[in-house]
């Protein structure tokens, strides 16, 4: 089996690629690893693919997959993961901000320390403070709190995985920021961290703007929701639906009793409308729960489990 598969998602990084490849080769040869590099071209328009073709011709350990258009980093990683054959899988950005020198130690941590996943931690970052460093501190703090995973830098492009992990998880949408959360949810709980060197971007420009913070949080919400209620939506909708319905129903009875006692006119009372509102919201939540259950029932993955061992 190949020791290491390196997956590189890239979008318009033609200038960086030859330097990256040279650096990877140097490190791999120094340490005597057998390796492959899977470059996933996420719809580049700048000649990145020609560079990948040349790399492949020189050394067939370099493989390439090209998307017809730009689908995003998560899609690129997902396809890259599916293509890997190595014992340990390393992901790395193409822009030379992540250093291949980290690979041997990451490999060792997976093989010897028995981690399922090791995430890089860009302790000292070379990105703009306002746009990246401060928002990302906040982002990491919330993700840590919500997921219970003690990582400082969830979104680091440099990560190492045990082979089985990448074959068991699916990265979609913009979920690449939460791969440790997805892995933990799949049952791979030994998640470690390694401080890694980070460098300035030399060529090209960053591909992620400010909107990633909004999308990032929405994704965190949906991932937490999916992990808790993805297979039993009724437990979520039913619970708050019942509460709302019960509250509205009791309030309605009180309003009716007061009406019968002649204390107030029904349609003049704000309480009447409020209790009706709660009853209706409760019923709608129930309906959403039932629809969710129907969708789950028809999902092809409803009975897909990851089996660790069997005798
Ligand atoms: N990337 C990609 N598809 C995209 C956006 C980015 O494959 O739609 C790649 C990009 O080429 C780079 C990595 O993802 O290799 C990280 O992107 P970038 O360096 O722009 O992010 P930053 O370091 O600024 O967070
Ligand atoms: Mg970068």
Q: Is the CB of 23 under 6 A from ligand 1?
A: no
Whole-angstrom distance, CA of residue 246 vs CA of residue 257: 17
Residue 93 pLDDT greater than 80, yes or no: yes
Question: What is the position in ligand 1's atom list of the atom closest to the CA of 206?
Answer: 20
Do 107 and 195 sit in the same domain of this protein?
yes
Cβ(42) – ligand 1 distance below 6 Å: yes
Are 53 and 135 contained in the same domain? yes
Q: Which of 24, 42, 51, 207 to mutate to test the pocket of ligand 1 (most atoms within 8 A of CB)?
A: 207
Q: Give me the pLDDT at residue 99, please.
A: 96
**For residue 206, how far is its CA from the centre of ligand 1 (angstroms)?**
6
Whether residue 123 is contained in a domain is answered as yes
Helix (H/G/I), strand (E/B), else coil: 288 = helix
Digit-coded pLDDT (tens) for 186-205: 999 999 999 999 999 999 99
The per-residue pLDDT of the chain, averaged, comes to 93
pLDDT of residue 55 exceeding 80, the answer is: yes
Q: Which residues of 43-77 are buried (b: 16+ CB within 10 A; e: fewer)?
A: bbeeebbebbeebeeeeebbbbbebeebbbbbbbb
Confidence grade of residue 44 (pLDDT, cut at 50, 70, 90): very high
Q: Is the predicted pLDDT of residue 217 greater than 90, yes or no?
A: no
The pLDDT of residue 75: 97
305 located within any domain: no
Atom of ligand 1 nearest to the CA of 70: 8
236 against 260, higher pLDDT: 236
Higher pLDDT, residue 294 or 132: 294
Instruction: Indicate the residue among 188, 209, 230 that finishes a domain.
Output: 230
Instruction: Determine the Cα–Cα distance for residues 76 and 233; give it in Å rounded to an integer.
Output: 30
Do residues 166 and 260 both lie within one domain? no
Q: Is 116 in the pocket of ligand 1 (CB under 6 A)?
A: no
Same structural domain, 103 and 174? yes
pLDDT given for residue 279 in this prediction: 97
Q: Higher confidence at residue 130 or residue 305? A: 305
Residues with CB under 5 A from ligand 2 (ion): 93, 95, 97
The structure tokens listed for 124 are 């000292």
Split at pLDDT 50, 70, 90, the class of 265 is confident
User: What pLDDT score was predicted for residue 179?
Assistant: 96
* CB contact at 8 A, 55 and 39: yes
20-38 pLDDT tens trace: 999 999 999 999 999 999 9
Distance 94 CA to ligand 1 centre (A): 7
Each residue of 117-175: pLDDT tens digit? Answer: 999 999 988 887 666 778 888 889 999 999 999 999 999 999 999 999 999 999 988 89
What range defines the domain where residue 160 resides? Answer: 4-230
Look at residue 308 in the predicted model and tell me its pLDDT.
86
Write out the H or E segment, with its range, that includes residue 26: helix 17-31
* Domain-terminating residue out of 198, 230, 262: 230
Which atom of ligand 1 is found nearest the CA of 13? 11
Q: Give mean pLDDT, residues 46-74.
A: 97
Bridge-based pairing state of the strands 191-195 and 117-121: parallel
Composition of the chain by helix, strand, coil, percent to 5: 55, 15, 35
Which atom of ligand 1 lies closest to the CA of 93? 15
pLDDT for residue 169: 94
User: Which CATH number belongs to the domain containing residue 175 in this structure?
Assistant: 3.90.550.10
Closest ligand by atom to 15 CA: 1
Nearest ligand 1 atom to the CA of 12 is 11
pLDDT value, residue 212? 77
Residue 268 has pLDDT above 90, yes or no: no
What integer is the mean pLDDT of 69-76?
96
Domain tally for the chain?
A: 2
Residue 50 predicted with pLDDT over 90: yes
Residue nearest to atom 10 of ligand 1 (CA): 10
| Pair 136, 258 in one domain | no
Q: How confident is the model at residue 209 (pLDDT cuts 50, 70, 90)?
A: confident
Q: What is the maximum alpha-carbon separation in the chain?
A: 92
**Chain-centre distance for alpha carbon 218:** 12
pLDDT of 294 higher than 80: yes
Residue 309 pLDDT:
87
Answer yes or no: do 239 and 220 share one domain. no
Name the DSSP letter for residue 133. I
Q: In angstroms, rounded to a whole number, what is the distance separating the alpha carbons of residues 86 and 36? A: 7
Domain for residue 115, yes or no? yes
Residues in the chain: 311
- The whole-number pLDDT of residue 4 equals 98
Q: What pTM was estimated for this model as a whole?
A: 0.88
């Amino acid at each position: 089996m190949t020791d290491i598969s390196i997956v590189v998602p890239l979008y318009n990084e033609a200038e960086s690629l030859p330097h990256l490849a040279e650096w990877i080769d140097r490190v791999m040869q120094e340490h005597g690893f057998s390796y492959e590099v899977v470059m996933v071209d996420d719809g580049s328009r700048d000649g990145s693919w020609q560079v990948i073709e040349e790399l492949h011709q020189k050394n067939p350990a370099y493989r390439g997959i090209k998307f017809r258009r730009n689908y995003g980093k998560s899609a690129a990683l997902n396809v890259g993961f599916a293509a890997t054959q190595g014992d340990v899988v390393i992901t790395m950005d193409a822009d030379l901000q992540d250093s291949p020198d980290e690979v041997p130690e990451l490999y060792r941590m997976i093989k010897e320390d028995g981690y399922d996943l090791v995430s890089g931690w860009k302790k000292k970052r070379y990105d703009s403070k306002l746009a990246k460093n401060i928002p990302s501190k906040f982002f990491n703090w919330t993700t840590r709190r919500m997921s219970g995973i003690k990582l400082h830098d969830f979104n680091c492009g440099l990560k190492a995985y045990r082979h089985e992990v990448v074959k068991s998880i699916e990265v979609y949408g913009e979920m690449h920021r939460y791969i440790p959360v997805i892995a933990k949810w799949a049952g791979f709980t030994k998640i470690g961290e390694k401080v890694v060197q980070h460098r300035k971007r030399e060529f090209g420009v960053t591909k992620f703007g400010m909107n990633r913070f909004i999308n990032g949080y929405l994704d965190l919400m949906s991932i937490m929701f999916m992990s808790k209620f993805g297979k039993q939506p009724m437990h979520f909708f039913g619970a708050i639906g019942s509460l709302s319905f019960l509250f509205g129903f009791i309030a309605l009875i009180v309003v009716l009793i007061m009406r019968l006692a002649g204390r107030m006119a029904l349609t003049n009372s704000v309480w009447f409308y409020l209790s009706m509102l709660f009853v209706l919201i409760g019923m709608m939540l129930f309906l959403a729960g039932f629809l969710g259950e129907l969708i789950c029932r028809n999902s092809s993955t409803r009975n897909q489990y990851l089996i660790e061992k069997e005798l």
